[in-house]
């Protein structure tokens, strides 16, 4: 045996072309890489040439040196990928020297590169027709990611995690081509949660007769968050901060307090929302439900004429308005009459950099208006997402009514694709949802969130099924038409900016994030959760779905974690 190799742990043999690649390992490291050529003799196969790799060349050695190496080895291994004929030939040669060899499953990529890398069913990764080791699979994935463009470290980590979970490189690279494999894109499932709250029967409520007729005609009992609000003094005039997930019935909490006080002559109801689209919808809801017993008006900006052509009436019993609309009325000295209750929806807006301080100022001006006129107004604040509700309740001097229920489970999916592939993926998601029906008999409809009005129109034009853009740049008639068509299931999807995130009532089964930005600003966690909550309307489906394209500059999976 050569003096350069005092000990040999493993000699690995792998067929390559008509020869054998030989790898010698000693002391846990590769010590030698060589090529063995055999010949057929009367006594059977024997070594013919033995060439040791030196840099980019090969150094001829005596064939007997190969025999010395295998005789000194603790173990001899033959790759599983070696053909049966080549395996039989080398085995016959080793038998002649009374040496035993074991067939092992190895990484073909490593074997071809002169590395000995045994793999098992637990560590092997399928690559085309071969099985390779995890290191080579990771290198192949990194190469594919580099070709596609720069992905975030979190996105790469998630793909690597999926690679080792599935043991199939092709399935992972297919994700980068825009394939939708639900088993792989599913990040997690947010379970439906139901708190054990004894419901309050509607016929037990002490309400004005006109409101009582409407409530008992619609419901036999209140939903849990409504029941909690009533038990915490809602109808006794207590101020409340109500925090509960989307579609759990928060709006009716405000209605119960404000409409009841207005009907009893205890002052008008101000219902404040952040967006014009939401104000229009709430105004129509109040007009439809209570217009025969209360005067309802709308204030969405500085103009006295709203989008529908109606004049703002400060003497109305119910004023629905945007934050800015009500604030402008206060700043310009508008007499809003006696205020009996103020309901502020989406109160978490207080934490937004741009609008938060303006809403804070509006609340302060409203409270000052009430104090000057000695109005004992009741304040009800509503939100689906508040980071620190206890702190906010103390600041607002309100009783916290928190109900952590999600009416239906929501699957959260992450897709990995280049920007130019996004619309193709979104189109397939919209088609897949609309082609199916829930157990409640409704087609699946999709809300696609993106970051600009222009992008809304661009995506909508490229979707195969009927869809429409929806944003604040549309006039009242256009927005109203989209709302009605979506409600009638004539549209498979709406493509929107932040307008739908703030509570406009669209019964969608699926939410798709084309972007995690709104305009030039990244979504906050609360904003993201608010948009996510639009998926899975309990009146139309038993399961929601949210899909987000992994961004190259912001981590989707980190936000979800």
Is 486 a member of any domain? yes
DSSP 392-459: HHHHHT-EEEEE--BSS-EEEEEE-B-HHHHHHHHHHHHHHHHTSB-TTS-B--EEEE-S-HHHHHHH
Taking 50 as the threshold, does the pLDDT of residue 558 lie above it? no
Statement to judge: residues 552 and 446 lie in one domain: yes
User: Residue 70's pLDDT band (boundaries 50, 70, 90)?
Assistant: very high
Statement to judge: residues 362 and 224 lie in one domain: yes
For strands 410-415 and 544-549, give the pairing: parallel
Statement to judge: residues 349 and 221 lie in one domain: yes
Is 340 a member of any domain? yes
Statement to judge: residues 306 and 435 lie in one domain: no
Taking 80 as the threshold, does the pLDDT of residue 555 lie above it? no
Is 188 a member of any domain? no
Give the position of tokens 């490229």: 462
Taking 50 as the threshold, does the pLDDT of residue 345 lie above it? yes
Among 73-87, 159-173, 174-188, 238-252, name the one with the lowest average pLDDT. 174-188
Distance CA(207)–CA(196), nearest Å, equals: 25
Is 385 a member of any domain? yes
- Reduce the DSSP state of residue 250 to 3 states and report it: helix
- Reduce the DSSP state of residue 524 to 3 states and report it: coil
State the alpha helices, DSSP H only, in 265-411. 276-290, 323-331, 353-372, 389-396
pLDDT cut 90: percent of the chain above it: 57
User: Residue 56's pLDDT band (boundaries 50, 70, 90)?
Assistant: confident
In this predicted structure, what is the pLDDT of residue 468?
96
Is 183 a member of any domain? no
Which range in 36-50, 373-387, 523-537 is most confidently predicted, on average pLDDT? 36-50
Under 8 Å between Cβ of 163 and 175: no
Is 185 a member of any domain? no
User: Residue 150's pLDDT band (boundaries 50, 70, 90)?
Assistant: low
- Reduce the DSSP state of residue 296 to 3 states and report it: strand
pLDDT tens for each residue of 288-329:
999 999 999 999 876 555 555 578 899 999 999 999 999 999
For residue 449, give its domain range: 410-560
In this predicted structure, what is the pLDDT of residue 553?
42
Statement to judge: residues 154 and 258 lie in one domain: no
Distance CA(41)–CA(382), nearest Å, equals: 90
In this predicted structure, what is the pLDDT of residue 554?
44
Distance CA(381)–CA(398), nearest Å, equals: 8
Statement to judge: residues 432 and 487 lie in one domain: yes
Q: How far is CA 297 from CA 10, 291, 347, in A?
A: 87, 10, 22
Is 120 a member of any domain? no
> H or E segment at 29?
strand 29-41
- Domain stop point among 87, 112, 137: 112
Is 206 a member of any domain? yes
Burial category of 46 from C-beta neighbours within 10 Å (exposed 0-12, middle 13-18, buried 19 and up): middle
Statement to judge: residues 258 and 383 lie in one domain: yes
Average confidence (pLDDT) over 442-461: 93
Q: Which residue has the higher pLDDT, 561 or 412?
A: 412
Among 145-154, 380-389, 398-407, 539-548, name the one with the lowest average pLDDT. 145-154
Taking 60 as the threshold, does the pLDDT of residue 499 lie above it? no
Statement to judge: residues 171 and 143 lie in one domain: yes
Statement to judge: residues 345 and 452 lie in one domain: no
CATH number at 470 reads 3.40.50.300
- Domain stop point among 403, 433, 456: 403
pLDDT tens for each residue of 107-144:
888 888 878 888 888 899 999 888 999 999 999 999 88
Among 164-178, 220-234, 432-446, name the one with the lowest average pLDDT. 164-178
Statement to judge: residues 150 and 289 lie in one domain: no
Taking 80 as the threshold, does the pLDDT of residue 96 lie above it? yes
Statement to judge: residues 418 and 545 lie in one domain: yes
- Domain stop point among 371, 403, 435: 403
In this predicted structure, what is the pLDDT of residue 10?
93
Q: Please state whether the predicted TM-score (pTM) of the whole model is above 0.75.
A: no
Domain count, the chain: 4
Statement to judge: residues 229 and 305 lie in one domain: yes
Taking 70 as the threshold, does the pLDDT of residue 2 lie above it? no
pLDDT tens for each residue of 361-419:
999 999 999 999 888 899 999 998 887 899 999 999 999 999 877 778 899 998 877 77
In this predicted structure, what is the pLDDT of residue 292?
95
In this predicted structure, what is the pLDDT of residue 364?
95
């Amino acid at each position: 045996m050569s003096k350069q190799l005092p000990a040999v742990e493993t000699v690995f043999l792998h067929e390559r072309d008509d020869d054998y690649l030989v790898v010698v390992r000693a002391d846990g490291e590769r010590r030698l890489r060589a090529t063995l050529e055999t010949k057929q003799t009367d006594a059977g196969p024997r070594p013919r040439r033995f060439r040791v790799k030196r840099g980019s060349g090969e150094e001829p050695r005596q064939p007997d040196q190969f025999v010395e190496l295998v005789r000194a080895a603790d173990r001899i291994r033959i790759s599983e990928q070696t053909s049966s004929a080549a395996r039989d030939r080398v085995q016959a040669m080793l038998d002649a020297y009374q040496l035993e060899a074991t067939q092992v499953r190895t990484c073909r990529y490593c074997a071809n590169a002169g590395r000995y890398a045994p793999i098992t069913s637990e560590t092997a990764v399928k690559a085309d027709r071969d099985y390779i080791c995890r290191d080579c699979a990771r290198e192949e994935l990194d190469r594919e990611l580099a070709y596609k463009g720069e992905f975030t470290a979190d996105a790469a980590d998630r793909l690597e995690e999926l690679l080792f979970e599935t043991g199939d490189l092709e399935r992972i690279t297919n994700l980068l081509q825009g394939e939708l494999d639900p088993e792989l894109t599913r990040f997690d499932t947010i379970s439906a949660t139901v708190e054990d709250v004894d419901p309050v029967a509607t016929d037990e409520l002490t309400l004005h007769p006109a409101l009582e007729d409407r409530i008992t005609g619609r419901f036999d009992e209140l939903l849990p968050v409504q029941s909690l609000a009533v038990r915490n003094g809602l109808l006794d005039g207590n101020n409340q901060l109500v925090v509960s997930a989307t579609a759990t019935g928060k709006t009716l909490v405000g209605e119960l307090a404000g409409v009841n006080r207005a009907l009893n002559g205890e002052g008008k109801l101000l219902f404040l929302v952040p967006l014009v689209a939401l104000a229009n919808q709430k105004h129509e809801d109040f007009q439809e439900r209570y217009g025969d017993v209360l005067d309802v008006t709308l204030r969405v900006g500085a103009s006295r004429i709203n989008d529908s052509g109606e004049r703002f009436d400060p003497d109305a019993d119910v004023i629905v308005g945007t934050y800015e609309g009500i604030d402008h009325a206060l700043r310009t000295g508008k007499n809003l009459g006696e205020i009996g209750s103020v309901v502020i929806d989406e109160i978490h807006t207080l934490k937004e950099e741009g609008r938060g301080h303006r809403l804070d100022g509006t609340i302060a001006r409203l409270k000052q208006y009430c104090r000057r006129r000695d109005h004992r107004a009741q304040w009800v604040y509503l939100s689906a997402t508040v980071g620190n509700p206890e702190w906010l309740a103390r600041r607002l001097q309100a009783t916290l009514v928190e109900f952590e229920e999600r009416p239906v489970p929501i699957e959260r999916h992450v897709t990995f694709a280049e920007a130019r592939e996004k619309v193709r993926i979104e189109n397939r998601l919209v088609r897949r949802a609309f082609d199916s029906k829930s157990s409640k008999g409704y087609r699946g409809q999709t809300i696609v969130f993106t970051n600009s009005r222009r992008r809304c129109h661009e995506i909508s034009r490229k979707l195969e099924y009927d869809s429409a853009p929806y944003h604040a740049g549309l006039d009242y008639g256009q927005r109203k038409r989209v709302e009605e068509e979506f409600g009638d299931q004539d549209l498979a999807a709406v493509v929107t900016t932040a307008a739908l995130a703030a509570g406009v009532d669209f019964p969608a089964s699926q939410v798709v994030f084309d972007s995690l930005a709104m305009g030039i600003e990244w979504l906050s966690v609360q904003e993201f959760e608010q948009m996510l909550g639009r998926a899975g309307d309990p009146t139309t489906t038993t399961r929601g779905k949210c899909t987000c394209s992994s961004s190259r500059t912001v981590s989707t999976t980190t936000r979800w974690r």
